[in-house]
Amino acid sequence: MRISPAALVIALAIVTKVQTAPKPTLEEALIQARTSLVLNDYKFSGPGALVLDAAVQQSRFVLLGEDHMTREIPQFAAALCDTMHPDAYAVEAGPYATRFVNSLLSNPDRIPIMTARDRAYPDNMAFLNIREENDLAAHCAASSHNPHFALWGLDQEFLGSAGTLLQSMAATRPGPLSRAAIAVAQAKERTAAALATSTGDYAKLFLLASTDTDIQSLQSAVDADGTAATRDLLREFTLSRTIYRAFAQSGPDSNLLRSQLLKRHFLADYLPFKKQTPSPRILFKFRDNHTGKGFDQSHQLNLGDFIAELAAGEQAQSLHLIVLGARGMHYDIAGYGKPLGQQPFVMSDDPDYKWLALAVSNLIPADPAAPGTQLTLFDLRQLRYRGLDLPSQWEHVVYSYDLLVLIPKVSVASVIQ
């Protein structure tokens, strides 16, 4: 086949033009990738709803990475449940605390029962003792099409959980040695909880303040005549204690141990669940450092990467969302058993989120007359492989997450009490 000189000149001109076309700036690319997403009464609308719905429908695993303790992100997640109808919902709480909440999801006395437990054992669970998060779990259960819907807790048990764990261990009907050792530990836990209450110091709680001798005495007795259930509860207790103690020492071990625990807990729930639901659709809601693909900011291969690889191995897809408030009020922890405080914030002022400033400055303006909350959705997939000059933090986000959703203003959630 002969190519005429004129055709060759035209082809070379086209190639030269493509090669010399100016690359868009990151801001220009973000504006091109943004769409309006409206949230009103647990429903999405606007052009962004089409983008979100298409991405959700083709994904078996949907991971929502968030900033904790807001009223607004659970509302977003509830609408996501109504879009997805998940078979299971995985959260950043301990497995035993979550099983307790799972047993209450259809109970009309769910909130009074939660209130009584939290008053008896403050901070015995993470997040699910927050009204908006507890209501969200019940909402997702109601929106599921699966009669076997399950709520899964994949994290360690929380700082104030020692009393509930020891109570559960005693209820497993172990032998006399275990019963005696558990009773001793319960007495020490009550003393520690009273001290933590008077001082507000989490470090005084038995989960952290227990000595290695305390744990060894309990372990030896449970090894001797505890049941399988007793041993599992003690295992969760000791793992949680190890993670918190490593965190207090500011070393890397805490992040590694925690990421490994999230994966083990997930498989412990997922593998048996697949026997009754072969291709389950699962929603995850965790802090955003847990839910991205690749290495996280702590240089760990965290839960999000594990799920992405699992999805690929099962010839399925995972969708990774990061949903943040641009500004508003953040919660402030005043101490053990104390009411939550709050303080104003702008997310891009946080050293870990300075990269967000460009997106915050390009939010789609809200229509004051329109019902609902105007969100801005950025389709990060459109920013990949375009040769953009991405700052390192933006490059990490673009390839870790598929969609970024910014809520213009958020407020602090409320503890069940």
* Chain centre to alpha carbon of residue 48: 22
CA 173 to mean position of chain CA atoms: 34
172-209 pLDDT, tens digit each: 999 999 999 999 999 999 999 999 999 999 999 999 99
Give 364-402 pLDDT, tens digit per residue.
998 887 889 999 999 999 999 999 999 999 999 999 999
Give the model confidence (pLDDT) of 100-144 as tens digits. 999 999 999 999 999 999 999 999 999 999 999 999 999 999 999
Q: What is the largest CA-CA distance in the chain?
A: 96
Residue 81's nearest CA partner among 283, 266, 375 is 283
**What was the pLDDT predicted at 368?**
82
What the block records as the tokens of 82 is 């109504």
**Residue corresponding to tokens 């700036």:** 25
Strand order in the sheet with 43-45: 43-45, 34-40, 373-379, 403-407, 318-325, 61-66, 282-287, 88-91, 150-153
State both tokens at 213. Answer: 């001798």
Round to whole Å and give the CA distance between 326 and 409: 6
Q: Which domains does the chain have, with CATH numbers?
A: 24-84+281-417 (3.40.1660), 86-280 (no CATH)
Q: Which residues pair with 375 in a beta bridge?
A: 37
